Amino acid sequence: MRKKMNVSRCRVFQKFIDRQVLTIKPRFKISDLYGSCIFVGVWVLVFWFGRDRLFRDPGTFFHTIIGDTILKTAKFPHADCFTFTRYGSDWIVNQWLGECVFAFVHRIAGLDGLLVLAVSLVSILYAYLAFKIERSGMNLMLGVVLLSFSLAAVSHHLHVRPHLFTILFMAVLYSKLCDIDMQRTRETSLVWLIPFFVVWVNIHSGALGGLCTLLIVSTGWTLGRLLGLPNPLQSAKSVFILWGLTALCLLTVFINPYFQELPVTWFRVMRSSAISELIVEHASLLTHIRHGDPKIYLTMAAIFCLAAFYFALLIGTEWRDRRVTWYIPLIWLILSLSRIRHAPLFSVVALLAMAEMFPYCGWVKALGKRGCVTFQPRGQNQARPIPPGYKYTIPVLIMALSFFACVGSNQLPSGAQKWARLDATYWPVEVLPELKLMEKASPRGTPIFNDMLFGGFLIYHTPGFRVFIDDRCDLYMENFLLRYVKAEKSDFEAWTKQYRFNIALLETNSNYQKYFEADPDWLIVKKCRSAVLYRKTLE
């Protein structure tokens, strides 16, 4: 009898154990670490290849110096103090908040700190995109392929500058609009975009693109409600709330130290025809191809691949399922063809749009039913819980250790940083010792004639000189910029008499070299792989 009771108890206990084992859920799945894995992969990749390539924009140098000036003086400049051609002219710092962030990091960790900041921003962006892909139910390997194409499209524009914030902020903004469009949240949640745009407006002029995107989507939702098309607006009250919040977001362009001068500067830069000739990233795709830029082919191939898959998914969806936000990548694609600097914005919004459309695409469903794992949506339209804290442990740990490791780099010269490297074939680092000797021997404010590329470099490394030009195109008048691009001998001679400069730093392939080589009064002090340093003989 006792033996039967023991056997019965064992069976009950075994059933209890079996039930617990079957109902126990794993603490996490591999897919839960998808974003962290993407963060690590992108971080290592961008850091490894970006130690010198991320420092190929002169804006890196003058953004840092301008931000440092604001932090030192606690004042916002209203006039230029870095050039001898526009000294004292009206000028505002239209990216002051981003520049202050850069200057603060530079004070603590030098160029190494700026490298870590830039790499971390790019990695956060792609970890965020990976999270959206995983949340949508898209196959994770397909997501990796799309993320790779997106990174290739963005790579041409990865530099240490506030523009990186714009790429990240555009992804966040568009994702929020998609959440509202898919009715995962209400239109009232747009209220948080007001402080969001206040920050963005003061960091980078790309906030204008975000505001236009919001305005287009709000218009589309309103028209959709009037025409009976799919839209998230449930009532007339929702329409009023939407436009009230949109109007408040648009008014954030005036919340800055310069009030209306800031948006006026943005539009003046956009209307400039000279900028497309001077600044590479402002040129059209056809201009790049015509100039034979080899790097543009990678960007072009990545853009076309993303566009092809985006169009395939869009065409494969039913009309009744389509949302206004799904058409936004079309606008950024067209803008990317007109100005290549918009390519990163197209790549991120297209990726997010593809993640939204993927579960609704007819041919994706058909391939999934036929057993094609790549096109089998995972848990589509299912609400997912807020990701647990361990998803962020690895990214936070990497960023913290990286910033800690580069503390002290601010005491090192730019050519001796622990990680960051200035490419000697691109920057005149090999003539820097001679430049510093000339700066020391000359009165402060001595003019130096230079090519536009070297303007920011000189402002950063030799603050005792005043430069001829840099790439702050909003500072210079349209006529001056066009004159610089197409300068004749008479223009150069007029500048020589007007400004009386005795030092010049030119690129090795500069269009101005012919004027210096033809004048026996100009002597070569030193020539290196990237630049030629001239000095005029004293009369």
pLDDT, tens only, 165-186 = 999 999 999 999 999 999 889 8
> What's the whole-number mean pLDDT along residues 499-503?
92
> What's the whole-number mean pLDDT along residues 323-340?
90
> What's the whole-number mean pLDDT along residues 500-508?
93
Query: Which is higher by pLDDT, 163 or 136?
Result: 163
Q: 336 falls in which pLDDT band (50, 70, 90)? A: confident
Per-residue model confidence (pLDDT) at position 12: 47
Per-residue model confidence (pLDDT) at position 294: 67
Name the one residue in this structure whose structure tokens are 């290849």.
49
Per-residue model confidence (pLDDT) at position 447: 95
Count of CB atoms within 10 A of residue 311's CB? Answer: 14
| CA neighbours closer than 13 Å in the CB half-sphere of residue 317 | 20
Question: Of the given ranges (129-143, 268-282, 336-350), which has the lowest mean pLDDT?
Answer: 268-282
> What's the whole-number mean pLDDT along residues 226-235?
85
Judged against a pLDDT cut of 50, whether residue 204 lies above it is answered with yes
Judged against a pLDDT cut of 60, whether residue 387 lies above it is answered with no
SS3 466: strand
> What's the whole-number mean pLDDT along residues 510-521?
88
Q: 279 falls in which pLDDT band (50, 70, 90)? A: low
**Element (H or E) spanning 448, and its range?**
strand 446-450
Q: What is the mean pLDDT of the chain?
A: 86
Question: Of the given ranges (31-35, 185-189, 433-437), which has the lowest mean pLDDT?
Answer: 31-35
Judged against a pLDDT cut of 50, whether residue 499 lies above it is answered with yes
Rounded to the nearest 5 degrees, what angle is found at the Cα of 339, between the Cα atoms of 333 and 344? 55
> What's the whole-number mean pLDDT along residues 510-522?
89
Per-residue model confidence (pLDDT) at position 234: 85
Question: Of the given ranges (256-265, 323-332, 469-478, 522-531), which has the lowest mean pLDDT?
Answer: 469-478
Rounded to whole angstroms, what are the CA distances from 268 to 81, 217, 280? 21, 25, 18
Judged against a pLDDT cut of 50, whether residue 25 lies above it is answered with no
> What's the whole-number mean pLDDT along residues 203-226?
94
Beta 446-450 vs 531-536: how paired, if at all? unpaired
Extract the tokens encoding 8: 């019965």
Per-residue model confidence (pLDDT) at position 390: 64
Judged against a pLDDT cut of 50, whether residue 22 lies above it is answered with no
> What's the whole-number mean pLDDT along residues 320-326?
91
Extract the tokens encoding 89: 């002219």
Per-residue model confidence (pLDDT) at position 341: 82
pLDDT tens-place string over residues 453-467 = 999 999 999 999 999
Per-residue model confidence (pLDDT) at position 389: 58
Per-residue model confidence (pLDDT) at position 3: 47
> What's the whole-number mean pLDDT along residues 329-340?
88
Question: What's the distance, Cα to Cα, between the start and end of the chain in Å?
Answer: 123
Judged against a pLDDT cut of 80, whether residue 274 lies above it is answered with no
Per-residue model confidence (pLDDT) at position 87: 93
The maximal CA–CA distance of the chain, rounded, in angstroms, is 123
Judged against a pLDDT cut of 80, whether residue 125 lies above it is answered with yes
Extract the tokens encoding 504: 């010049």
Q: Which residues of 41-71 are buried (b: 16+ CB within 10 A; e: fewer)?
A: bbbebbbeebbbebbbbbbbbbbbbbbbbbe
Angle between helix axes 140-155 and 96-136 (nearest 10 degrees) is 160
Per-residue model confidence (pLDDT) at position 15: 45
Q: Give the strands of the sheet with 503-507, arranged side by side.
A: 465-467, 446-450, 503-507, 531-536, 522-527
Rounded to whole angstroms, what are the CA distances from 169 to 164, 198, 349? 9, 12, 11
pLDDT tens-place string over residues 241-265 = 999 999 999 999 999 999 999 999 8
* Backbone angles phi and psi of 442, in degrees to 5: -110, 155
Per-residue model confidence (pLDDT) at position 486: 80
- List 465's β-bridge partners, or say none: 446
Q: 316 falls in which pLDDT band (50, 70, 90)? A: very high
Query: Which is higher by pLDDT, 175 or 18?
Result: 175
Q: What is the DSSP string of 357-384?
A: HGGG-HHHHHHHHTT-GGG--SSTT---
Q: Does pTM surpass 0.85?
A: yes
Per-residue model confidence (pLDDT) at position 369: 85
Question: Of the given ranges (36-45, 111-120, 386-395), which has the lowest mean pLDDT?
Answer: 386-395
Distance CA 325, CA 145 (A): 23
Q: 20 falls in which pLDDT band (50, 70, 90)? A: very low
Distance CA 499, CA 502 (A): 9
